[in-house]
Amino acid sequence: MTRLGDLYTLQGQSPWLDNVRRDWIENGEMKRWVDRGVRGVTSNPTIFQKAISGGTAYDEQFGSLLADGTSVLDAYWELVVTDIRNTLAILRPVHDESDGLDGFVSIEVSPLLARDTAGTAQAARHLNGLIAEPNLYVKIPGTAEGLPAIAQMISEGCSVNVTLLFSADRYREVMESYLVGLEQREGDLSGVSSVASFFISRVDNEADRRLDAIGTPEAAAFKGKVAVANAQVAYEAFLQTFQGPRWDALVARGARVQRPLWASTSTKNPTYSTTLYVDTLIGPDTVNTMPENTLGDFEESGTLARTVDADFAEAHAVLDGIAALGIDLADITATLELEGVASFSKSFDDLLATLGEKAASLR
């Protein structure tokens, strides 16, 4: 058993891979990650931008699509859906063996729809119907406009990965949307699943910048602690939500909890441990999606202990401490949501521009 396997069997946390690459699908590397303990795969526009722009693995299919008269935008989605389908096939045994808990692969709706409720629901419905696999997650951004789309798609039986979450308050709204969607759906609920992707390292990047601007020893003491505390408070909200009569009524119909998924867990500050955002957020009913470097580092030296709920009081103390210094966590998380939507949209636009240039050269 690998350390990644132990993370799941001993602590109840599912390690997922935050990357999709066609060469890995074709040369067996994706399957080797699964054999080492990876239990799911996530993707986003930035990942596909790097994968498709970074080599020639997609050129043959892209050229064939262009020859058939497919537009660049439609060709992009064909490339992405092909990778997702093939990755779903690799992860399907994990899905079946876990009785539908893991083995999921995520595909994201266009990031240009982040502020469009109806457009998001329509795109999610299309992708879910097009791919039609039980271990597919359609990623919907957890913006205010995304909340009604989440409830709608859950009510229609579409499993959803809610992405771009930065605040515990927004996560509470996301969980409410999930519950509403389950309540609106008739019959058995066991085939509907969801995770909520809570971003970690970007919170410390912004919080540390503001702490550095204060420049006092008291401020410096909080560096590298805000993101973890923020996530631990979100986990506390998760525990509070999925209990009680309302939840018990849904469990009786087969409902599953919406697991927190820790995302953006590679450290950006070189002075921090490369497994900081894994070691400190381990606990049952959670997922941590990691790029391959972080997965490898955790395999070598990661902590195997339940840490995410070890000290909620300390987590609140950290957040209270930065508030006393004048740092507004709500402003941090709102800023990061705006930046996240813009970043994914830029990756999407950049990729389409790259494909447009490649199309011109192929023609």
pLDDT score of 351: 86
Residue 317 lies in a domain: no
Q: How far is CA 308 from CA 117, 122, 182, in A?
A: 33, 36, 27
pLDDT score of 52: 83
d(CA 18, CA 105): 10
User: How many angstroms from the chain centroid is the CA of residue 200?
Assistant: 11
Q: How far is CA 179 from CA 131, 350, 363, in A?
A: 25, 36, 50
Residue 217 lies in a domain: no
DSSP 8-state code for residue 244: S
d(CA 127, CA 149): 14
pLDDT score of 55: 80
pLDDT score of 362: 74
DSSP β-bridge partners for residue 35:
none
Structure tokens at 104: 């999921």
Q: Does residue 139 carry a catalytic annotation?
A: yes
Residue 63 lies in a domain: yes
Q: How many C-beta atoms surround the C-beta of residue 297 within 10 A?
A: 17
Residue type (1 letter), 84: I
The number of distinct structural domains making up the chain is 1
Contacts of 354 (CB under 8 A, 6+ apart): 49, 52, 53
Which CATH number do you get for residue 112?
A: 3.20.20.70
Structure tokens at 303: 């902590």
pLDDT score of 267: 95
d(CA 308, CA 314): 11
Residue 265 lies in a domain: yes
Residue 266 lies in a domain: yes
User: For the purposes of burial, counting CB atoms within 10 Å of the CB of 78, is it exposed (0-12), middle (13-18) or buried (19 or more)?
Assistant: middle
**Residues 128, 149: contact at Cβ < 8 Å?**
no
The pTM is what? 0.96
d(CA 160, CA 107): 10
Element housing 85 (H / E): helix 72-97
Residue 113 lies in a domain: yes
**Residues 2, 38: contact at Cβ < 8 Å?**
no
pLDDT score of 333: 98
- Catalytic site residue from 31, 50, 139, 223: 139
Q: Domain of residue 286: give its range.
A: 3-201+232-306+330-362
Residue 147 lies in a domain: yes
DSSP collapsed to 3 states, 116-149: CHHHHHHHHHHHHHHHCCCCEEEEEECCCCHHHH
d(CA 277, CA 294): 10
User: For the purposes of burial, counting CB atoms within 10 Å of the CB of 148, is it exposed (0-12), middle (13-18) or buried (19 or more)?
Assistant: middle
Residue 320 lies in a domain: no
In order along its 363 residues, the chain shows pLDDT tens digits of 789 999 999 999 999 999 999 999 999 999 999 999 999 999 988 888 888 887 889 989 989 999 999 999 999 999 999 999 999 999 999 999 999 999 999 999 999 999 999 999 999 999 999 999 999 999 999 999 999 999 999 999 999 999 999 999 999 999 999 999 999 999 999 999 999 999 999 999 999 999 999 999 999 999 999 999 999 999 999 999 999 999 999 999 999 999 999 999 999 999 999 999 999 999 999 999 999 999 999 999 999 999 999 999 999 999 999 999 999 999 999 999 999 999 989 988 988 998 898 888 876
**Residues 196, 162: contact at Cβ < 8 Å?**
yes
pLDDT score of 47: 87
**Residues 283, 309: contact at Cβ < 8 Å?**
yes
